[in-house]
């Protein structure tokens, strides 16, 4: 719902602390990073669980890369639309170019609206990853995962607090 209201708020992570924003990926966390955070916290793992988690980490990483590349292509395409010759201020003021200007801006708006789709796909990947992890783990291991993830985010927030409270030198 928030993606449709203000996708830029989600992408920028305005509600996050500085350290959390550093790790922000398409409005949230990278699912593959969460797997890295928890993998050492849920031992002992069976061989079948290890294989399943490794496969999940690989497929999740590939999906993240595909989404990142798609977003990069969208950004480049949007940038190309914005810097188009027909959008220069001098030509935009001339009536014959107004329709061309408006068509380029309409195209740019359509491209921009597809940001919502990327955020929704990233959220879906996060949900799928957590769901698949839950299928691979025991209840006790799932509980350890929750604690490990909570501790990870708590440490990021603590790091941000320390960063913001550090002494600063002028100049």
CA angle, 161 then 163 then 168, to 5°: 125
* pLDDT (tens place) for every residue of the chain, 171 residues total: 555 666 776 677 777 777 777 778 887 889 999 999 998 888 889 999 999 999 999 999 999 999 999 999 998 988 887 776 554 555 445 555 677 777 777 887 888 788 888 989 999 999 999 999 999 999 999 999 999 999 999 998 999 899 889 888 875
d(CA 74, CA 85): 19
Q: How far is CA 58 from CA 50, 65, 67, 110, 142, in A?
A: 12, 11, 14, 32, 20
Question: For residues 41 and 140, is the Cβ–Cβ distance under 8 A?
Answer: no
Angle, helix 47-82 to helix 31-39, in steps of 10 degrees: 150
What's the pTM? 0.77
Q: Rounded to whole angstroms, how far apart are CA atoms 135 and 56? A: 11
Q: Where are the domains of the chain?
A: 2-161
Distances (CA, A) of 66 to 55, 73, 80, 127, 133: 17, 11, 21, 17, 21
């Amino acid at each position: 719902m928030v993606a449709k209201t203000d996708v830029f708020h989600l992408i920028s992570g305005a509600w996050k602390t500085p350290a959390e924003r550093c790790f922000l990926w398409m409005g949230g966390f990278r699912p593959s990073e969460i797997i890295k955070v928890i993998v050492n916290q849920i031992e002992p793992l069976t061989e079948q669980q290890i294989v399943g988690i490794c496969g999940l980490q690989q497929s999740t990483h590939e999906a993240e890369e595909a989404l990142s590349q798609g977003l990069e292509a969208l950004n480049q395409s949007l940038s190309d639309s914005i810097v188009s010759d027909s959008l220069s201020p001098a030509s935009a003021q001339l009536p014959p170019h107004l329709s061309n200007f408006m068509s380029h801006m309409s195209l740019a708006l359509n491209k921009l609206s597809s940001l919502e789709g990327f955020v929704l796909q990233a959220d879906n990947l996060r949900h799928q990853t957590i769901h698949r992890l839950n299928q691979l783990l025991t209840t006790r291991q799932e509980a350890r995962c929750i604690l490990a993830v909570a501790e990870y985010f708590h440490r990021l927030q603590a790091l941000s607090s320390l960063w913001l409270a550090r002494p600063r030198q002028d100049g």
